[in-house]
Structure 1
């Protein structure tokens, strides 16, 4: 071991230039008269995490030149490794000449060259060089990789974290396919840098030929932006943009697009959209934020293939969390994107304030709850309402010595409404004729009690759980009036998730009146591993006559429909869910839902099936609805995969969409191709066929074409 009067440096990290250089070798000789140190046999020189290995190393004190030969490798602190047959460097290893150089980058990408020079300790210039991130063929390493870039001159700048090419051409399987006088891409250590992103090209009936070339701006470590002009041959240029920034207490993402184009038979119409979010912490308990989602017209997003949402929701909010309590104040607006939507009748909610409080458990486990709500809802056209609501409750859970579990409690819902333009005889949002405007109130108390008794039996390989459940809910026989508009309780879906709920309506505008009992049974099997089978079946009986629920909901009669669920996952290759609702008298299906995923990666399939009886959705204009969606996926090798998917309307006997795709991916390339046919129609959206081919080269980006 010896100490040499030299220092290493590294461009990306501060180093200790006074740190010693450590040399180890099988043999070290020193000619004091000539000032030459010669090390041979397993030579290793290290300083500041940089290591030089060689068979032989010579250091000339007079010329301050270090030469190394025989299996030379230089390990950089960043993780890169440089190999060479012969290296001649200055004593600080920052400048020199290298022959037959090969560089292994941090992600296993490779650079090879006939010769190179190293300057400033961070810049390597190579002549007659080749770059490729592809692995070499194990059977014949001399074969050309899947793709590579050859260049007369290549510069690897570690400080800029770039690899630059001059007079470069790209080869696939050794065949040249493209040439460029200059090209650059980031090295594996670079997270982001300003520059053009991968372009995409396509053809469609509505837009014609399209080309999108995004440009990325790396403004600062905490902010960036992307501008992406979308050029179309049949429409005007669409300018898309996104700005992102992180703050000490939050972040924002501002995005959108704009164009002036033909729309609805009129020329030079402004079209665009906003899609932005923000989240900011006020302190450890409070935060505020916003979501802005808006389009100039209903079909803009789908016409340009930006989004397919049917409702765009915008909101601004402040919310707080403290222990068991939650508070929020927000404002919301909605925009429908279907042709049948009338957005002048869409609600504008400002404010929508809630406060949910749950006390700490008392000495017997009892606790109090208070759920307060204030809402002001208005429309450009139609009825308006203001609401103050408080749901207060008391709950006592109890576990008996025998193991059965009891829960008893009481709740009181108190509501005060101020309304304008409400039709007491209908729920029309924009009624005509005589309407009611004024003040309306409601006091609605309820008592409830629930009993469940989990019974467990251990078998050799599984545990079995049988749990009967029953509850009683008692309340007044009235509480809903037409003078209170129904804004948040329109969607009624009676199933096993709300069977035991005191209020089976989704919101506060309607209350679940009367007296009823609910009963059901859970039966489950749990394996020694992760496998399980869970089932539930249940029903309710309403003692009083009630017209709170419309026909077809399954709870409009005294005896409700039978609801339940079967869920199974015996192993990681099978997941099954079946949810049902049967008519209590005929046992005919009113609602069926099936979801299935089965098979290993080499061949798996998925199935989603939904059936909704016309009577179960009486306000729906479509009648019976029965639809199936199926997918088949296969990763039939380590690199190849394929998929087929289709959606079919079984009630009308027509296909809604279908498609297929195949792809290949490895360490350096990704190729995907898909073909899709859709049959949806809505406004200017018509049935269409799309073909998409995407080829992604590591570091170079992805290039796509759609037809």
Structure 2
């Protein structure tokens, strides 16, 4: 470091002495100051550092050798040797040349002929790096007008190469490549695309944004697929930048059986929120009648400070032209579409939620006229400290109106209040008292059972709960055990589920360990859990800092009067409910095993869910088993039993394989089977996937879909490939009944 700085001082002395006027010729274009007999540079735009510097006064040439560095503002040049011609204001550099500009681009070369500002000139044997990954190499490169980098006989590729295998996985060779630094585009003339060194495509001209551009209009990478429903399909998305706040993607989807489908997706950000509008449109005859089919999926959310601080308003709308469209063209496997418009706000002590909801069933033979529309749906709650009894008191309101084209219309208005207080005694016993009273007004029209009816229901309850957690630590202090017996008693009236109080929002009733100690096992407000009952349970948990964690819950409900508001298949009817229990065991995030059970007094299993997840060094395995006893009253006349499995294997750092299978054990048929194979490295990603769906629906028969998606990183997209994986999720369903319906397409 000392030697090079001394050389720089010597260079300054030599240059100034030669000129004899206190002025560094051309290369140093700012004044210098004299300090004794030594002249030094002061705020020069160009600085030179080298091991040795010579100045020829006759020719006006400065020759620098050994570790040469030139600095001009944010531009730098390093070389083995440099010759500066002050009269021509040109710089010639040779040997291990590295030229860096303010954008972060780096050029490596064998020879360079540049102007004194390091802006324009000619470079031979050029190799450029743009951004973090992109490499350009050329026989010759020329810098023009401080804007264009023109490369002759050039190659573009972001792929890493090594001495043993110098051919990149993919590259673009062109007679000329022009990099426009102002427009931030790369232009190709007479371009050939090589894959593994083999030419596979040729274009006379094309362009794409350089890697520093985050958003630019242009084509994205295509994808290809084959389906038994629509035949061979190809997609070629075109991305359009509209302005700083909005953009859209237009995707022609060409199929051999159903013609062309136009897909679109429009996105816009506002100061107060954002929105997305997407969908598709086609004209086909797969339904038997030629006509337009399509779908719309739009959502948005915005601040509503004009209404209330922190409030939000928005929508989430999904609709399609017919039942089979989404499944037929692999847009979605959903069998019900829910659309909603809302205004809501949540805070620490309460919330309100106003919405309108529309359902569209995609199940075969589902009577559309009997599917309700909900407008309005209002929920609100506010909590306050109780100044008299302690604890908290809450006030709530809930109302909804359901309309049908063919069937009953129902309006329900509910208002009420609840109270709860918890105390922990010195011995560790936790006591909680609670109470609730609710008034419901039902207005029913066109009901086939009760006709037109207006009725009022008062639904009170009161109860208490006791928990006594017993905690002890193991001798080594590495883990602790908690055993917590729990008892709850609820007193409530009976006769509050008469037919005139129609049940719209509590049709599906799930009974498991998660709602064992709820005051109502109904999923909504229309149903009211009647009668006095006691709930007994036991909870266990082993807590460790690092190691095997175990938790378990077991309990049941004992009633003083038989419950007839629940179907027999729910496990909640009669004087004694089924036993519900669950346990899990985990070892960090690497392994988890869970089971949920519901059994009767004879230990006959009415519900059983078992799931296991293993993850290690990038590999993952998941499996799930589910069984649900028949419940004819709720529309499930047969037992349901299914098993599913998923495996993901990181074969190498670049290769990952995934597979899944789902089988109905009751009817001994597969539901779906498939897998995917993904390759991804520093410059490209390729995804192959295949899926076989065995369920049939009208105009969307059981079919096999397979396809390929390719992403050439930095070429039209800077993101890594994430191909759509049609495999199901295996985290364990919250609702077994709903999960079975979804799997079987009901």
Shift of 1:531: 4.6
| Mapped pair 1:658 → 2:681 | no
- Residue 38 of structure 1 aligns with which residue? 63
Shift of 1:174: 2.2
- Residue 648 of structure 2 aligns with which residue? 633
Shift of 1:323: 3.5
Query: In the alignment, which of 709, 716, 737 is matched to residue 694 of structure 1?
Result: 709
Distance in 1, matches of 2:537 and 2:723, equals 54
Is residue 694–residue 705 contact of structure 1 (8 Å, CA) maintained in 2?
Answer: no
Is residue 246–residue 252 contact of structure 1 (8 Å, CA) maintained in 2?
Answer: yes
Shift of 1:603: 4.5
Query: In the alignment, which of 130, 141, 156 is matched to residue 131 of structure 1?
Result: 156
Distance in 2, matches of 1:622 and 1:270, equals 38
Counterpart secondary structure, 2:621: strand
Distance in 2, matches of 1:153 and 1:349, equals 63
**Cα deviation code 1:211-269 (max 9, x no counterpart):** 322221111111111222222333242222111110101111111122222143222x2
**Cα deviation code 1:555-609 (max 9, x no counterpart):** 10111111111122113321222111111x1111111111211242464321011
Distance in 1, matches of 2:75 and 2:399, equals 66
Distance in 1, matches of 2:498 and 2:71, equals 85
Please report the TM-score for the alignment, with normalisation by the length of structure 2: 0.87
- Residue 94 of structure 1 aligns with which residue? 119
- Residue 191 of structure 2 aligns with which residue? 168
Higher helix share: 2
Query: In the alignment, which of 227, 251, 274 is matched to residue 296 of structure 2?
Result: 274
Query: In the alignment, which of 232, 245, 249 is matched to residue 222 of structure 1?
Result: 245
Is residue 56–residue 62 contact of structure 2 (8 Å, CA) maintained in 1?
Answer: yes
Shift of 1:652: 0.9
Is residue 110–residue 131 contact of structure 1 (8 Å, CA) maintained in 2?
Answer: yes
- Residue 118 of structure 1 aligns with which residue? 143
| Mapped pair 1:613 → 2:629 | yes
Is residue 601–residue 633 contact of structure 1 (8 Å, CA) maintained in 2?
Answer: no
- Residue 109 of structure 1 aligns with which residue? 134
Counterpart secondary structure, 1:301: helix
Distance in 2, matches of 1:304 and 1:32, equals 79
| Mapped pair 1:152 → 2:175 | yes
CA change 1:627–1:705 in 2 (3 A) is closer
Query: In the alignment, which of 370, 377, 381 is matched to residue 352 of structure 1?
Result: 377
| Mapped pair 1:242 → 2:265 | yes
Shift of 1:528: 1.8
- Residue 12 of structure 1 aligns with which residue? none
**Cα deviation code 1:410-445 (max 9, x no counterpart):** 111111111112244xxxxxxxxxx42131111111
Please report the TM-score for the alignment, with normalisation by the length of structure 1: 0.92
Counterpart secondary structure, 1:344: helix
Which piece of structure 1 moves more, 87-96 or 485-494?
Answer: 87-96
Shift of 1:698: 2.0
Query: In the alignment, which of 389, 408, 419 is matched to residue 394 of structure 1?
Result: 419
Which piece of structure 1 moves more, 675-684 or 392-401?
Answer: 675-684
- Residue 405 of structure 1 aligns with which residue? 430
Distance in 2, matches of 1:465 and 1:80, equals 61
Which piece of structure 1 moves more, 378-387 or 452-461?
Answer: 452-461
Counterpart secondary structure, 1:359: strand
- Residue 82 of structure 1 aligns with which residue? 107
Distance in 2, matches of 1:687 and 1:154, equals 49
- Residue 452 of structure 1 aligns with which residue? 467
- Residue 452 of structure 2 aligns with which residue? 437
Which piece of structure 1 moves more, 186-195 or 26-35?
Answer: 26-35
**Cα deviation code 1:140-178 (max 9, x no counterpart):** 355312222221111122222222221222223322222
Is residue 229–residue 701 contact of structure 2 (8 Å, CA) maintained in 1?
Answer: no
Distance in 1, matches of 2:723 and 2:651, equals 24
Output aligned runs, 1:485-564, within 5 Å. 485-529=502-546, 531-564=548-581
Which piece of structure 1 moves more, 29-38 or 229-238?
Answer: 29-38
Distance in 1, matches of 2:546 and 2:636, equals 47
Is residue 692–residue 704 contact of structure 1 (8 Å, CA) maintained in 2?
Answer: no
Distance in 2, matches of 1:184 and 1:480, equals 70
**Cα deviation code 1:23-75 (max 9, x no counterpart):** 33333444455433333332223354433222223333322212222211122
| Mapped pair 1:381 → 2:406 | yes
Unaligned segments of structure 2, at least 5 residues: 1-7, 13-23, 31-42, 726-746
**Cα deviation code 1:298-326 (max 9, x no counterpart):** 11111222111111111111112344221
Is residue 200–residue 703 contact of structure 1 (8 Å, CA) maintained in 2?
Answer: no
CA change 1:376–1:603 in 2 (3 A) is closer
CA change 1:221–1:479 in 2 (3 A) is same
Which piece of structure 1 moves more, 485-494 or 696-705?
Answer: 696-705
- Residue 481 of structure 2 aligns with which residue? 464
CA change 1:593–1:119 in 2 (3 A) is same
Is residue 656–residue 679 contact of structure 2 (8 Å, CA) maintained in 1?
Answer: yes
Shift of 1:293: 0.6
Distance in 1, matches of 2:260 and 2:130, equals 41
Is residue 685–residue 710 contact of structure 2 (8 Å, CA) maintained in 1?
Answer: yes
Which piece of structure 1 moves more, 38-47 or 622-631?
Answer: 38-47
Query: In the alignment, which of 186, 195, 202 is matched to residue 225 of structure 2?
Result: 202
Counterpart secondary structure, 2:405: coil
- Residue 188 of structure 1 aligns with which residue? 211
Distance in 2, matches of 1:576 and 1:233, equals 46
- Residue 15 of structure 1 aligns with which residue? none
Which piece of structure 1 moves more, 658-667 or 462-471?
Answer: 658-667
Shift of 1:622: 4.7
Distance in 2, matches of 1:638 and 1:407, equals 55
Query: In the alignment, which of 75, 100, 104 is matched to residue 50 of structure 1?
Result: 75
| Mapped pair 1:473 → 2:496 | no
CA change 1:31–1:368 in 2 (3 A) is farther
**Cα deviation code 1:263-288 (max 9, x no counterpart):** 43222x22111100111112241111
CA change 1:550–1:142 in 2 (3 A) is closer
**Cα deviation code 1:72-113 (max 9, x no counterpart):** 112233332211112111122221000111112222232111
| Mapped pair 1:568 → 2:585 | yes
- Residue 27 of structure 1 aligns with which residue? 52
- Residue 14 of structure 1 aligns with which residue? none
Is residue 252–residue 278 contact of structure 1 (8 Å, CA) maintained in 2?
Answer: yes
| Mapped pair 1:580 → 2:597 | yes
Distance in 1, matches of 2:653 and 2:637, equals 45
Is residue 200–residue 705 contact of structure 1 (8 Å, CA) maintained in 2?
Answer: no
Q: Which is bigger in relative contact order (C-alpha 8 A, separation at least 6)?
A: 2
Shift of 1:20: 3.0
- Residue 19 of structure 2 aligns with which residue? none
Is residue 601–residue 634 contact of structure 1 (8 Å, CA) maintained in 2?
Answer: no
| Mapped pair 1:291 → 2:313 | no
CA change 1:444–1:130 in 2 (3 A) is same
Which piece of structure 1 moves more, 122-131 or 230-239?
Answer: 230-239
Distance in 1, matches of 2:687 and 2:591, equals 27
CA change 1:601–1:57 in 2 (3 A) is same
Counterpart secondary structure, 1:266: coil
CA change 1:69–1:365 in 2 (3 A) is farther
CA change 1:574–1:612 in 2 (3 A) is same
Is residue 228–residue 704 contact of structure 2 (8 Å, CA) maintained in 1?
Answer: no
Is residue 602–residue 636 contact of structure 1 (8 Å, CA) maintained in 2?
Answer: no
